[in-house]
Amino acid sequence: MILLADSGSTKTDWTLLNNGTITESFRTQGLNPYFVQTDDVVAILKEQLLHNEAVRRVEQIFFYGAGCSSEGKNKVIRDALDKLFPDSENLIAHDLLAAARALFGKQAGIACILGTGSNSCVYDGEKITRSLFSLGYMFGDEGSGAHLGKNFIGAYLKKAAPAEIIEAFLKKYDLSDEDILTNIYRKSNPNRFLASFTHFLKQHEDHPFISGLIFSCFEDFFREQILKYPEKQDYPLGCIGSVAYHFRDIFKAAAGSQGLRVEFFLVSPMEGLIRFHNR
């Protein structure tokens, strides 16, 4: 049996395959090694995953994760899996490879991820040949949920948002300015907190202020993460992640403004990963 994992900062999707057939699917907390340590991963999986008897019998685990971009970070996840699944072959890879395999299979393309965070890579049909070092939500993650949320919350706190948007926000959220700042500067996972406001942005997507803010964030993504690739005009562009998918009309418009065309959108890479690993 094979266990596939697609892990972001917010959630991890797991699919159990038995001879190519989906047996079960699960969801646990996100396991980004920039935000969790090995002991955290062990505790989370013991509570949220290992209650299933079938999972304990897996022979191979493919864990694709946000933040799994170096041997040191991969070790955080590998040590936890090796402890919990000592009889399994546990393979750790970056979520960029998951996106590329899910979108393009064995064909070349430029894969983008826009969820809580954002990233991109050039894929030659087998391996990632070019990517940019991710700077996270503080200095990077352009176009991501955290980036959209940060830009919106900044405008809200500075009273730069229109009065009707501020009124709608106050009606939806019981958050003082101090509450917001405490969540960002004092509590864990501020990127998730910021990304949570994409739900509000989606509800007000048709408002010119909101659509303009989203468009600008996506322009930042293309400028900082795609236009720097020499292959940008040679390979098809595909995108995975809830933010790009749910705001795909604005995303496509922002791409067009930069002379780019997006050919594929997927909410999650899991369906494509199942196809890839069943080949």
Each residue of 112-171: pLDDT tens digit? 999 888 999 999 999 999 988 777 767 778 999 999 999 999 999 999 999 999 999 999
The band of 45, judged by pLDDT with boundaries at 50, 70 and 90, is very high
Could you tell me if residue 265 is inside a domain? Answer: no
Cβ atoms 110, 123 nearer than 8 A: yes
Could you tell me if residue 82 is inside a domain? Answer: yes
**Average pLDDT for residues 257-265, to the nearest whole number?**
89
Could you tell me if residue 187 is inside a domain? Answer: no
Could you tell me if residue 71 is inside a domain? Answer: yes
Q: What domain range includes position 61?
A: 2-98+271-277
Each residue of 203-252: pLDDT tens digit? 999 999 999 999 999 999 999 999 999 988 889 899 998 899 999 999 99
For the chain, what percent of residues have pLDDT higher than 70? 99
For strands 60-65 and 2-7, give the pairing: parallel
Total count of domains within the chain: 1
Could you tell me if residue 72 is inside a domain? Answer: yes
Q: How far is CA 34 from the centre of its chain?
A: 14
For strands 11-18 and 262-266, give the pairing: unpaired
* pLDDT value of residue 279: 67
Cα distance between residue 191 and residue 196, in whole Å:
9
Buried b (16+ CB within 10 A) or exposed e, 176-213: eeeebeebeeeeebbbbbbbbbbebbeebeebeebbeb
* pLDDT value of residue 50: 85
Cα distance between residue 135 and residue 23, in whole Å:
37
CATH code of the domain in which 92 resides: 3.30.420.40
Looking up tokens 């948007």 gives: 165
Each residue of 14-36: pLDDT tens digit? 999 888 788 888 899 999 998 89
Report how far apart, in Å, the C-alpha atoms of 129 and of each of 20, 100, 136, 234, 261 are.
Answer: 29, 11, 21, 14, 21
Could you tell me if residue 228 is inside a domain? Answer: no
Could you tell me if residue 149 is inside a domain? Answer: no
The band of 200, judged by pLDDT with boundaries at 50, 70 and 90, is very high
Cβ atoms 192, 9 nearer than 8 A: yes
Could you tell me if residue 161 is inside a domain? Answer: no
* pLDDT value of residue 26: 87
